[in-house]
Amino acid sequence: MLLMTFTPQRLRFLQALGWFLLVLAWVAQILGLSWRALQPVRSLRLLIIFTGLALLLLVITILLKQKSWRQRQAFLLDLNLMFNLLTGILLVFPQALGATALVGPVGRGGLICFGLTLPVAYWPPDGVHVPPVLRENYPLIQRGLVAGARILLITSLVLLLLGGAY
């Protein structure tokens, strides 16, 4: 919903890509690889947290496959996409996810925007206060919520990267 439409192949690809990026981050840290922007400054705690997030994502995927929610597949795709974006930042620009970057107001703002992205995208349209003219136009409200979530996602990534630059 955020950036692409759901297909089972895309979900499997994003799941595999997330695990590949995580393994690559572990290998880069263990071997101390350094190449241009790729620096071995990830903390062990951060890698363990990301490994826990990957396992949590796997559990969420298994649990949601048992539920009959209309937007389940799109939610899983977006969740995997967001995990892959964070893991890519961890791999290429790990300073952005370090404790010193997230303590500052810019990094903290990026983390808050990142956390609000999925709730905004999947907020039910009837729970949004809009002018009376638009009240029954649920597709328009949903498109507005998804557009707002896309803006939040882009803003959060920019803020996280800026937070790591200080």
What's the pLDDT score for residue 83?
96
Distance from C-alpha of 108 to C-alpha of 10, rounded to nearest angstrom: 31
Beta carbons of 121 and 78 less than 8 angstroms apart: yes
Residue ranges in the chain modelled with pLDDT below 70: 35-41
User: Which of 79, 94, 109 is where one domain is finished?
Assistant: 94
Q: Which structure tokens are listed for 116?
A: 């609000």
What's the pLDDT score for residue 151?
95
User: Which of 43, 76, 94 is where one domain is finished?
Assistant: 94
Q: What domain range is 27 assigned to?
A: 1-94
Q: How far is CA 116 from the centre of its chain?
A: 10
